[in-house]
């Protein structure tokens, strides 16, 4: 009940100003806090909320065990759910490796690896609504995807295109790694066999599955495959209907996409739908000793269209290594691929990208060996790519150019391979706060930009989750729509938690009448710090000694500090100790 009061109260406190906060009132340089709870928050993943915002999930150790939490950030950078997130799973033992996809109704499906049964870890799934509540028919702490799975590993989740989700994983029930999958509908019904559907159970190990919807209700899969020999690694693909039946023209256990002779080391597949129920698969390929990026397109019926060749065509196979490709559709039957690239300096990766048309050629304007995303000093790591909606893409990564600490950067390339207007060579810094920022995740914002989240060590004590929005025009995180209207910025209370005096620093962009009040979680005013005096532009602060308007010490608990400057309102949380 306390959570419900908080959600209502936070909305009410913001609305009490009599107007909606401007679109960019919350996004600030170096990001806004998604979760700064005790313990580490890490392994963040994000999905669109279908309203220009994002649902962000992470592994959370605030309880001493690893749990799964989530938060929804709207397009303006305002947290929509309980401060520090809503619990998705707090079952016994550890929950790790979360992932999330949109459910098509403003909520999300959240998947994770779960050790509540220590003898047999398993994959669990939860559906939450746009309000952060468990969806009707779903159970607290989620449902097990497949009780027959044996040591499942590297699970991935995608939307099924019909309001449900498909989960695929490595499964060791045969003694080797096979690829299994399950489709779960919005009402928790398992559409495929209860024991999971064997996408591929060929001899040898099948690992590293990826999957996407085919756009027609079916599912496309790719994986790394050692059926030929433990010394050989191929990439295979498969096409299933919505009912889990192999599409006509596709063989049992899939079709090989990579070469069937030569060195035959093909790893790290990435996969997109081609817009015509077929696929484009790309991978890291060692046919020429060093790693290159290759790709193949297959039609819905498992044929190779004109312009492509069996075994794949080179996306990039220049000097030194090109590794770890990630692909997104370009919206025109082709794909944009990003990869780590050592062409300038061996073992120090930069980032390059290339758009390939559905006809198997580099799109006009793109260099044959790809366009530079970032070639700054130091290494660029863990790239994430999202489409920009106009044939290009936004790429985000963590970056070592500053030296020992890592920062979060982003770059947008247009559909013709150039740096987008308003962006900069080697990208824009989304966060260069002190200490390390790592592990970015991103979703498109629907306007050519992206919302990016990451794990952040700026506190110096534990990792937190922060997020930023970068617009399609680049040049700053405050430019969401229209001219900046932010009247002020309020900082987090210090200290927090507090047992004595707490201060609330804020900065005004221009002279404003300021009101400041402390509320409890039921929405009652506890203390009026300032009833409406005018303050000049600049830095100011209020202090609260933990007493109510009658001079009495308040009870220990969570309180909300609301500042109103002009027509704009911002709220911060303070934990009061006795």
Pairing, β 143-144 against β 153-159: unpaired
Sequence-distant (≥ 6) Cβ neighbours of residue 119 within 8 angstroms:
none
Sequence-distant (≥ 6) Cβ neighbours of residue 72 within 8 angstroms:
49, 53, 54, 55, 56, 79, 80, 81, 130, 132
Q: Which two tokens stand for residue 223?
A: 């994986």
In the numeric block, the tokens 């490709």 are attached to 325
The span from the first CA to the last CA of the chain, in angstroms, equals: 23
DSSP annotation of 21 reads P
Q: How many CA atoms lie within 13 A of 248 on its CB side?
A: 0
Residues in the chain: 578
The answer to whether 383 touches 369, Cβ cutoff 8 Å, is no
| Cα(149)–Cα(156) distance, integer angstroms | 14
Which domains, from first to last, does the chain contain?
36-201 (2.115.10.20), 488-576 (2.60.40.4070)
The answer to whether 170 touches 162, Cβ cutoff 8 Å, is no
The verdict on whether omega for the bond into residue 495 sits within 30 degrees of 0, i.e. cis, is: yes
DSSP annotation of 471 reads -
* Residue 109: predicted pLDDT: 98
* Residue 522: predicted pLDDT: 67
Query: What's the sign of the alpha-carbon dihedral 455, 456, 459, 465?
Result: negative
Q: Which two tokens stand for residue 340?
A: 């780590």
| Cα(398)–Cα(403) distance, integer angstroms | 12
| Cα(110)–Cα(45) distance, integer angstroms | 10
| Cα(355)–Cα(401) distance, integer angstroms | 26
The verdict on whether omega for the bond into residue 497 sits within 30 degrees of 0, i.e. cis, is: yes
DSSP annotation of 146 reads -
**Count of CB atoms situated within 10 Å of the CB of 561:** 25
Q: Residue 134: phi, psi to the nearest 5?
A: -65, 130
Query: What's the sign of the alpha-carbon dihedral 151, 154, 159, 162?
Result: negative
Q: Which two tokens stand for residue 76?
A: 């303006």
Q: What is the pLDDT along the chain (578 residues), one digit of tens a residue?
A: 333 333 334 444 444 433 333 333 478 889 999 999 999 999 999 999 999 999 999 999 999 999 999 999 999 999 999 999 999 999 999 999 999 999 999 999 999 999 999 888 999 999 999 999 999 999 999 999 999 999 999 999 999 999 999 999 999 999 999 999 999 999 999 999 999 999 999 999 999 999 999 999 999 999 999 999 999 999 999 999 999 999 999 999 999 999 999 999 999 999 999 999 999 999 999 999 999 999 999 999 999 999 999 999 999 999 999 999 999 999 999 999 999 999 999 999 999 999 999 999 999 999 999 999 999 999 999 999 999 999 999 999 999 999 889 999 999 999 999 999 999 999 999 999 999 999 999 999 999 999 999 999 999 999 999 999 999 998 444 433 333 334 577 877 888 888 888 888 887 878 888 999 998 876 788 999 999 898 888 778 889 999 999 999 999 888 888 888 876 778 888 888 87
Q: Which two tokens stand for residue 376?
A: 């700054």
Long-range Cβ contacts of 182-191 (<8 Å, 24+ apart): 182/145, 182/146, 183/219, 183/242, 183/244, 184/109, 184/125, 184/143, 184/145, 186/103, 186/127, 186/135, 187/137, 188/127, 188/137, 188/138, 188/143, 191/164, 191/242, 191/243, 191/244
SS (H, E, C) 222-236: EEEECCCCCCCEEEE
| Cα(34)–Cα(85) distance, integer angstroms | 8
Buried b / exposed e along 494-505 (16+ C-beta atoms within 10 A): eeeebeeebebe
Largest interatomic CA distance in the chain: 83
The answer to whether 86 touches 4, Cβ cutoff 8 Å, is no
Q: Residue 130: phi, psi to the nearest 5?
A: -65, -15
The answer to whether 180 touches 168, Cβ cutoff 8 Å, is yes
* Residue 487: predicted pLDDT: 58
* SS3 label, residue 74: coil
| Cα(278)–Cα(295) distance, integer angstroms | 14
Q: Residue 271: phi, psi to the nearest 5?
A: -145, 140
Bridge-partner residues for 304, per DSSP?
Answer: none
The answer to whether 423 touches 411, Cβ cutoff 8 Å, is yes
DSSP annotation of 9 reads H
**Count of CB atoms situated within 10 Å of the CB of 319:** 12
SS (H, E, C) 185-233: CCCCCECCCCCCEEEECCCCCEEEEEEEECCCCCEEEEEEECCCCCCCE
């Amino acid at each position: 009940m306390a959570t419900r009061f908080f959600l209502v109260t936070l909305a009410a406190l913001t609305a009490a100003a009599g107007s909606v906060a401007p679109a960019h009132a919350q996004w600030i340089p170096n990001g806004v806090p998604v979760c700064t709870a005790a313990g580490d928050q890490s392994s963040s993943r994000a999905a669109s909320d279908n309203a220009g915002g994002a649902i962000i999930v992470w592994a959370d150790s605030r309880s001493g065990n690893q749990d799964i939490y989530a938060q929804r950030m709207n397009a303006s950078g305002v947290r929509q759910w309980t401060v520090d997130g809503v619990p998705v799973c707090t079952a016994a033992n550890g929950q790790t490796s979360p992932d999330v996809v949109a459910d098509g109704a403003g909520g999300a499906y959240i998947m994770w690896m779960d050790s509540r049964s220590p003898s047999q870890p398993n994959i669990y799934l939860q559906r939450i609504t746009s309000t952060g509540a468990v969806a009707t028919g779903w159970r607290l702490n989620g449902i097990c995807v497949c009780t027959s799975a044996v040591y499942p590993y590297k699970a991935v989740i995608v939307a099924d295109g019909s309001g449900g989700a498909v989960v695929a994983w490595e499964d060791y029930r045969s003694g080797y790694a096979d690829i299994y999958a399950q489709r779960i509908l919005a009402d928790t019904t398992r559409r495929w066999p209860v024991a999971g559907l064997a996408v591929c159970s060929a001899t040898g190990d099948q690992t590293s599955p990826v999957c996407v919807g085919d756009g027609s209700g079916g599912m496309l899969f790719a994986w790394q495959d050692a059926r030929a020999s433990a010394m050989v690694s191929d990439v295979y693909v498969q096409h299933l209907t919505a009912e889990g039946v192999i599409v006509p023209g596709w063989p049992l256990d899939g079709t090989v996409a990579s070469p069937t002779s030569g060195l035959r080391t093909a790893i790290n597949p990435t996969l997109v739908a081609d817009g015509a129920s077929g696929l484009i698969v790309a991978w890291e390929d060692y046919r020429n000793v060093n790693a290159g990026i290759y790709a193949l397109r297959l039609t819905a019926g498992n044929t190779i269209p004109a312009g492509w060749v069996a075994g794949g065509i080179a996306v990039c196979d220049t000097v030194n290594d090109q590794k770890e490709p990630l692909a997104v559709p370009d919206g025109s039957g082709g794909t944009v691929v990003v990869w780590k690239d050592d062409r300038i300096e061996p073992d120090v990766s930069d980032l390059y990208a290339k758009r390939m048309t559905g006809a198997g050629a580099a799109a006009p304007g793109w260099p044959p060996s790809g366009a530079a995303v970032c070639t700054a000093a130091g290494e660029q790591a863990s790239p994430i790519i999202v489409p920009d909606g106009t044939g290009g893409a936004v790429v985000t990564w963590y970056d070592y150019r500053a030296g020992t600490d890592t920062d979060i950067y982003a770059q947008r390339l247009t559909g013709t391979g150039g740096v987008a207007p308003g962006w900069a060579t080697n990208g824009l810094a989304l966060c260069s706060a002190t200490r390390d920022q790592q592990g970015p995740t991103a979703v498109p914002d629907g306007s050519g930009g992206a919302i990016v989240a990451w794990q952040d060590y700026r506190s110096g004590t534990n990792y937190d989750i922060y997020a930023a929005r970068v617009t399609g025009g680049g040049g700053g995180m405050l430019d969401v729509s229209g001219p900046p209207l932010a009247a002020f910025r309020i900082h987090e209370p210090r200290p927090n938690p507090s047992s004595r005096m707490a201060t609330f620093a804020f900065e005004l962009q221009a002279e404003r009448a300021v009101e400041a009040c402390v509320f409890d979680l039921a929405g009652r005013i506890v203390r009026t710090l300032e009833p409406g005096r005018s303050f000049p532009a600049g830095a100011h602060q209020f202090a609260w000694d933990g007493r109510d308007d009658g001079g009495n010490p308040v009870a220990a608990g969570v309180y909300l500090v609301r500042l109103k400057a002009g027509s704009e309102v911002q709220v911060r949380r303070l934990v009061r100790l006795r």
